[in-house]
Structure 1
């Protein structure tokens, strides 16, 4: 995971940014990554690696599962 992603994740954990802002920043990274691939700035293999790192961060933006009542 790149240092940029670690910093972003740490900011979320420490409460420096909201979950919504974290999600927006991750979405912006997806867009940036796609644009870099389309402009041939990165190779497809690098795209896949960076995309997978973003995917690992994604579920964390929603927090842990909450208890709910079964009806």
Structure 2
């Protein structure tokens, strides 16, 4: 789990402490994902508790849970 959370934090390409829709979209594309914009939009809606348009450090567990449930990502602990 810690490795996946560390990976997720690397998605913050501008180092502002938050993961944006654009950063999620690019990460999905870079990893060969189809429908990157659609998946990024769903991920953001599923993870962004405060609805500010970004996934911040406190919301990363939400993004992990979304990836496991909705994107069928298997995270081995």
Kindly name which structure, 1 or 2, has the bigger radius of gyration based on alpha carbons.
1
Shared topology, TM-score over 0.5? no
Relative to the length of structure 2, the TM-score reads 0.28
Relative to the length of structure 1, the TM-score reads 0.29
As a proportion of its length, which structure holds more strand? 2
